[in-house]
Amino acid sequence: MKTLNDFDFKDKKALIRVDFNVPLNDDFQVTDATRILSAKPTIIKILEDGGSCILMSHLGRPKGVDETFSLKHIIEKVEDILGVGVKFVSSCVGAEAEEAANNLEPGEILLLENLRFHPEETAGDENFAQSLSKLGDIYVNDAFGTAHRAHASTTIVAQFFPEAKCFGALLAKEIESIDKVLNTSEKPVLAVLGGAKVSSKITVIENILDKVDHMIIGGGMTFTFIKAQGGKVGDSICEDDKIPLALDILKQAKEKGVQIHLPVDIVAANAFSNTAETQIVDVNAIPDGWQGLDAGPKSLENFNDVVMQCKTILWNGPLGVFEMENYAKGTIALGNAIADSTKNGAFSLVGGGDSVAAVKQFGFEDKVSYVSTGGGAMLESLEGKTLPGIAAILEA
């Protein structure tokens, strides 16, 4: 696996695929700069080597050229985080971009305009990728969030740098962290899978059953498993068509010696609302007209015991509707348990949009081993897929 350390960037122009797809408010100010911060180590390493950086990214899903999605809006924030001036060019291919890249001096940074202003980017167009390749000497992919897409800038462009391509620091860390959980983990290994639907996690569950010793299933997924075993779930979210699958997963887990841990009690509400009436009920006996929105106190005690005995922990998905204060206790308690276990020497990897949002919201970011920057990319990695953006760098 080629990384930044395999190259000397002195007097070289590094063409870096970063993921600067950051949220902006109505005044076009960056509201969460995590992705820019994540790219900083790669950029600074190249500049310190005596090289220059040409940054390419997408922002949002524009239909053609759209000023709303221009990367010029983030220049100030990028400069602020990197502590270096950033030049900007209002295109990413063609004469203007090539001239700006050619004129770049060692120690300088050039940010290209939004790649997705060109439909050729998402189409994985080879000619577009070749035009991008003219801008740099070494191709660096540091965008895990888009590594599962075979786009021009994430995958196709790599073929024009057969001997001069590598992973950036962020992408290398993502690959190492997922590999640590799936392949080189210290046992016992725990996977915590939450979220609303079993259907979105089927392939993840099936792939990791061979890798884990314990699996906590929480969130809305709980109720498909409970109903499959004959429990009453009231008005809780439930995928009736996935009941046979839930039973099959439980059977497979038993055969493989994996302990599945489901909630035993639930915070039930009489409406999907933070101000609804609530009660703690047995997970198998949720009354009609009531729905489970968070794990109950006995469940949290059980989960805490499991977390504390495990040495490797993967967390993907919240235990309840954490966006509402009254149903956030389960997710917070789980976060605290994982933080304690990490402090005691466990390796903990958090990934998937909702888990990452919860970790940030409740201040667990620095209390776990690693927070993944890619939602879809992480899920596909856990499903056992080789991501096209990663394969493109590994190919000779």
Q: What are the pLDDT digits (tens) for 178-219?
A: 899 888 779 999 999 998 888 888 888 888 999 999 999 999
pTM of the model: 0.86
Say if strands 214-217 and 189-193 run parallel, antiparallel, or are unpaired. Answer: parallel
Q: What are the tens digits of pLDDT across the range 246-271?
A: 999 999 999 999 999 999 999 999 99
Q: Per-residue confidence at 353, pLDDT binned at 50, 70, 90? A: low
Counting residues of the chain whose pLDDT is more than 90, the rounded percentage is 86
For the four alpha carbons of 284, 288, 290 and 292, in that order, the dihedral sign comes to positive
Whether the predicted pLDDT of 46 surpasses 80: yes
Three-state SS letters, 245-295: HHHHHHHHHHHHCCEEECCCEEEEECCCCCCCCEEEEECCEECCCCEEEEE
Q: Give the domains, in start order, of the chain with CATH numbers.
A: 4-170 (3.40.50.1260), 185-382 (3.40.50.1260)
Rounded CA separation 360/377 (Å): 19
| Catalytic residue numbers, as ranges | 35, 197, 353, 376
Structure tokens at 204: 């993840």
Annotated binding site for ATP: 201, 292, 323, 352-355
Structure tokens at 198: 């079993």
User: What local confidence, expressed as pLDDT, does residue 301 receive?
Assistant: 98
User: What local confidence, expressed as pLDDT, does residue 207 receive?
Assistant: 87
User: What local confidence, expressed as pLDDT, does residue 145 receive?
Assistant: 86
Structure tokens at 96: 């203007």
Q: Per-residue confidence at 30, pLDDT binned at 50, 70, 90? A: very high
Structure tokens at 67: 């000023």
Residues β-bridged to residue 235: none
Annotated binding site for substrate: 19-21, 35, 58-61, 116, 149
Q: What are the tens digits of pLDDT across the range 61-112?
A: 999 999 999 999 999 999 999 999 999 999 999 999 999 999 999 999 999 9
Counting residues of the chain whose pLDDT is more than 70, the rounded percentage is 99
The upper half-sphere exposure of residue 327, i.e. CA atoms within 13 Å in the direction of its Cβ, equals 27
User: What local confidence, expressed as pLDDT, does residue 204 receive?
Assistant: 87
